[in-house]
Amino acid sequence: MASSQGKNELIFADWMAALPGSLHSTPLTNLAIPGSHDSFSFYIDEASPVGPEQPETVQNFVSVFGTVAKKLMRKWLATQTMNFTSQLGAGIRYFDLRISTKPRDPDNELYFAHGLFSAKVKEGLEEINAFLTEHPKEVVFLDFNHFYGMQKCHHEKLVQMLKDTYGNKMCPAIFAHEVSLQYLWEKEHQVLVFYHSPVAVEVAFLWPGQMMPAPWANTTDTEKLIQFLQASITERRKKGSFFISQVVLTPKASTVVKGVASGLRETITER
């Protein structure tokens, strides 16, 4: 059983390289590529301050209940249990990334954030790069879709971080339908960076955010979610762009209040 599991892990880690030759020239827009939601949330620092994007009610809740409040928040904020390396080994190739500065941080670092702060961005990018170096035919999509507390200097810092980490591995923005595995392998590109900020138009290797739209059902009802996904897939296929199907249910405030001690997994995910 152990050897069989190891074999499967190997296939998942190199599934793009193992695709049949007939798909090598197929535009990646025509392939279903697995991704993760709030990809960095396997690690959430309960000792960190609350993220700047959180409403005043949450800020007040934490100021009153402190560590207990943050432990409850973590149950609703952590959408992943696997780190970047494990996700990549399991076949994940799209990463949903949300970046923030941290209040009163003496090092002026950039962090992944979802309500509370996660790992340093630099560490996460380097972890992904280590996998790509070992698996030269695998390609990842890095979707930087939310920025919190970031000024122009922070965007410049993040852009430089991407350059330093990935260099020529990054594919410059071109027409989406031109991007195939064969094209990327020939150019030795492994990373497509989508950047939901006007900064994207100034940097050749940043793909504008509108080239990776992510329609959001915003529902706790599974039937409504499926109907929404079917409609959005039909619409996006006509446009010939990359797009995201968010197969996730979203808790309402009342959902959280009712299951505050249970958390996301028991209340929503198992549906």
Q: What is the pLDDT of residues 219-235, one digit of tens each?
A: 999 999 999 999 988 88
In a domain, 5, yes or no: no
In the listed set 170, 192, 209, which residue is the last one of a domain according to the structure?
209
% residues pLDDT > 70 (the chain): 95
The verdict on 40 and 149 lying in the same domain is: yes
The verdict on 156 and 194 lying in the same domain is: yes
Rounded Cα distance between 125 and 84, Å, is 9
CATH code of residue 87: 3.20.20.190
The verdict on 93 and 178 lying in the same domain is: yes
In a domain, 8, yes or no: no
What is the span of the domain harbouring residue 265?
213-270
In a domain, 60, yes or no: yes
Q: What is the DSSP code string of 153-180?
A: HHHHHHHHHHHHHHGGGBPPP--GGG-B
The verdict on 196 and 85 lying in the same domain is: yes
Single-letter amino acid code for the residue at 61 = F
Catalytic residue, from 24, 37, 155, 177: name it.
Answer: 37
Binned at pLDDT 50, 70 and 90, residue 6 comes out as low
Strands 140-148 and 116-120: unpaired
Active site residue 114: yes
The verdict on 187 and 220 lying in the same domain is: no
145-186 tens-digit pLDDT: 999 999 999 999 999 999 999 999 999 999 999 999 999 999
Active site residue 37: yes
Give how many domains the chain has, as a whole number. Answer: 2
Cα angle for residues 191, 230, 180 (degrees, 5° grid): 25
The verdict on 124 and 65 lying in the same domain is: yes
Catalytic residue, from 114, 135, 154, 196: name it.
Answer: 114
Beta bridge partners of 143: 96, 194
In a domain, 11, yes or no: no
Residue 29's nearest CA partner among 175, 217, 206 is: 175
Phi then psi for residue 150, to 5 deg, are -105, 130
Cα 79 to Cα 47, 71, 169, 171, distances in angstroms: 18, 14, 28, 28
The verdict on 45 and 145 lying in the same domain is: yes
